[in-house]
Amino acid sequence: MPLDLTYLGTGGWIMRYGADVVMTAPLFSNPAFVRVGLGPIEADTGTIDRAMGGHDVRRARAILVGHSHYDHLMDVPRVATRHAPAARIVGGRTVQNILGHWSGIMDRVDRVDEHVADLESPGSWMSYGDRVRVLPLRSDHAAHFDGMELYRGTADRPLDAPPRTAAEWVGGETYAFLIDFLDDDGSVAFRLYYQDAVTAPPLGLAPEARIRERPVDVAIFVPATFDQVNWHPEAFVENLRPRWVLQGHWEDFFVPIDDETHSVTMADIEYFETRLRRVFDGEFWRPEIGTRFLFGQQGVRSPG
């Protein structure tokens, strides 16, 4: 049985193994650059519904949210209420507080605080049914440019209304994740690593003990802003020992998702891929929105 991954754009993925589905937080609304900088922004529910219309995630067990900037959290309430009504929202304190009283899903948030792992500490798994488990990894958000991180901050109490501007969608605590899909006997069928923000190692790395037990099958890395830190992706390849690598959150998300110019990169992708090739001998891909991969024990194919 293959691991089925579909790229939704920005930080969004659908991960399937048999009947089990996990999502990572997508962005479809894509407010324009000027509006993000100067005006109010809000989720475009029509665009979200059209984008999600072709994906059946009604049985999704979890939506993983690595941090709470607008391009990761703003569309989650609509996705969670309309399209993934059974999914738990997995994230930090700021994710829960920003969703607050207004979103209708604050009580569906599973805080990761007591489970967090890092390079030296094994943490503890969060289980979603008998065949899915998630390990949050302590991480951070790299600077956006010239050493400056935009919209840094935390939300210390639940909000009564949605944030109005991009600056009010503060990043909060940042996490990466290990995701295990298990077989009937409890063994790991596939292990994934997911990050939705670049960070400087050792933050974002998985516990050595966990990786000695089972290296990663598929690692999802973020190229955007990788030049703001040292040893990304090199340290992550060494730590995770992945079989395959995917790139997410690489494209221009200031244009509509059906605009042909969305594939303008948000980083020096060629340099990122050159550095990746120096330390990684396996296959890697930079998918367009909607690309689907089927990973099997014997290899990988993309049915479209």
Of 258 and 147, the structure prediction assigns the larger pLDDT to: 258
Does a structural domain hold residue 303? no
Does a structural domain hold residue 301? no
Cβ partners under 8 Å of residue 183, min gap 6 = 131, 189
Mean pLDDT, range 216-233, rounded to an integer: 91
pLDDT at 142: 80
pLDDT of 97 over the 80 cut: yes
Instruction: Identify the CATH number of the domain in which residue 191 sits.
Output: 3.60.15.10
What is the number of structural domains in the chain?
1
Cβ partners under 8 Å of residue 197, min gap 6 = 66, 67, 139, 140, 141, 142, 171, 174, 222, 225, 249
pLDDT of 146 over the 90 cut: no
pLDDT at 260: 65
Sign of the Cα torsion 103, 167, 50, 96 reads negative
Q: How far, in Å, CA of 245 to CA of 217, rounded?
A: 8
HSE value, Cβ hemisphere, 13 Å, CA-based, for 227:
11
Which structural domain range is residue 130 located in? 3-296
Does a structural domain hold residue 18? yes
Does a structural domain hold residue 56? yes
Does a structural domain hold residue 304? no
Which region, left, alpha or beta, applies to residue 198 given φ > 0 means left and ψ of -120 to 50 means alpha?
A: beta
Cβ distance 221 to 245 under 8 Å?
yes
Does a structural domain hold residue 82? yes
Does a structural domain hold residue 27? yes
Nearest of 281, 278, 220, 283 to residue 247 by alpha carbon? 220
Cβ distance 197 to 224 under 8 Å?
no
Reply yes or no: is the peptide bond before residue 233 cis, omega within 30 of 0: yes
pLDDT at 289: 94
Mean pLDDT, range 52-67, rounded to an integer: 97
Report how far apart, in Å, the C-alpha atoms of 231 and of each of 2, 23, 272 are: 32, 28, 11
Residue 265 pLDDT level (bands cut at 50, 70, 90): low
Does a structural domain hold residue 254? yes
